[in-house]
Amino acid sequence: MTTRPPSRGGAGRKGSGVGASKRPGRGPGPAGRSPFGAKSPFGAKRPFRNAKDPERERTGPRTSALDAAQRAASMRGEADKRAPWRPGDAPDAEAEHRDQQDLPTRVRSPRPQASEERPEESPRRARAPRPEAAAALVEGPTRREQRAAASATLASGVQTLVVEEDEAEMRIDRFLTTRFPQLPFTRVQSIVRKGELRVDGKRAKPNDRLLPGMSVRVPPLKLDAVGERPRSAQRDATDADFIRSLILYEDAEMMVLNKPFGLAVQGGSGTVRHVDGLLEALAGPDGQKPRLVHRLDKDTAGCLIVAKTRLAAATLAKSFRSRSARKVYWALTAGVPRVHQGRISTYLAKEEPTDADARMRVAQHGDDGAAHALTYYAMVDNAAQKLSWLSLKPVTGRTHQLRAHAAHIGHPIVGDPKYFSIENWELPGGIQNRLHLLARRIVIPHPRTGKPVDVTAPLPPHMAQSWNLLGFDAARYDPIVEAPEA
């Protein structure tokens, strides 16, 4: 006996047999129904859903996304708290819209355009964002706040600083003084000299240059809290007027000052008034002040370049390192060189490596701390074979280079307290016992245009007095301009 298998539509339903449908183009099932599913609220068909009997829609071994989500919610204990997958349990549309409006834009859940027609909400779209996700959207600290935090943690222990893009090519000592303005420069040099500071895990030197991304390890320091020094508006105006009176050249990127004799460029032990401190009076509204590019000895007068922006400072400093800058110095020396034009090439090293202002000595190649120094000189004029007017062109830029080289050839600079060592030498009458050394002229590529900026400084008062007394003509031709550049 052959039996017919039961119909999938259920027993007792009309038109369940083969060929029972009388309407062309339709499959089995009641009129207006499709065996492949009813229309979705979004207008698309949902295939393979039994639309004939709503009671059979949730039967069988198949697991729907609704069932899985409900089981997961019950396991978390949230089944009674939140069940937005059914229209009856979901919050009203206005409340949900208010919740979405209260969140930041980036965490707002996307909603379909036809959501009003959809009877069920997806669990992913109805789930509210976690509080920590919203908190992560809070913007980080500003650059000023980061530097303030770095300054505050300076006294707490070891910290690691990361070199940023605009700090590229900065000297390590300048980097520290920029990050920690309350740290004395002498203390910075001591930290580097003792090896307490590391760059990418290696010991650093004060003149080492930094690259973006490098890590600088700062040792723990115990410092007293330093409050902001109250600034006097009258004093700032006085300092600003004084600095402006020294300007020989100025534009939007840089300026060249005529540094007077006796004014230090940077602060140190016992030094209160210096160029770097006076530049504070020219700070802009953002707190940025002009920056030093190079240094001169305290008793050396003449051209001193100052950058107005960080980019200009980096570009000008690079010009000095690549020896693109040309410098001419004038000096009054004891005696007359036997060779009127010559070249001085030695190695120089500090007599006391731990002393920042120690004398330089002529060293041998390979000595600890020895660096090569090269200077060209030319005698412009002399007075009775007793005094010489020398024009000097340094190729390198070592500490006390010109003063040490002049003493090395037996003609120290008049008024030099460190290197003048001629015995039984009396200062000629009418000449002041001050260092007779002037940074007479400097030519350097402009940081923005690259065109040469040529600036000449006048003789300081004590040198002008000596020139007049000895009959030297400051307008006389200077043969040093023909000296080699390397």
- Could you give the residue numbers annotated as active site? 297
Beta bridge partners of 437: 331
DSSP states of 329-352 = EEEEEES--SSSEEEEEEEEEESS
| Rounded Cα distance, 331 and 420, in Å | 13
Find, among 61, 79, 62, the residue nearest to 70 by Cα: 79
Find, among 208, 479, 211, the residue nearest to 321 by Cα: 208
372 in helix, strand or coil? strand
Cβ neighbours of 4 (radius 10 Å) = 7
| Rounded Cα distance, 407 and 129, in Å | 77
Q: Is 201 left (phi over 0), alpha (psi -120 to 50) or beta?
A: left
| Rounded Cα distance, 13 and 3, in Å | 18
**286 phi/psi in degrees, rounded to 5:** -85, 5
| Rg of the chain in Å (alpha carbons) | 41
Instruction: Please list, residue by residue across 73-93, b when 16 or more beta carbons sit within 10 angstroms of its beta carbon and e when fewer do.
Output: beeeeeeeebbbbeeeebeee
Spell out the SS3 assignment of 227-243.
CCCCCCHHHHHHHHHHH
| Rounded Cα distance, 314 and 164, in Å | 13
Find, among 408, 437, 413, 438, the residue nearest to 425 by Cα: 413
Cβ neighbours of 384 (radius 10 Å) = 8
| Rounded Cα distance, 348 and 363, in Å | 5
388 in helix, strand or coil? strand
Name the token pair of 265. 């460029």
List, in order, residues 6 or more apart from 86 with CB less than 8 Å away. Answer: 120
| Rounded Cα distance, 271 and 249, in Å | 27
Find, among 432, 454, 382, 372, the residue nearest to 411 by Cα: 382
For residue 133, the surrounding DSSP H or E stretch is helix 131-135
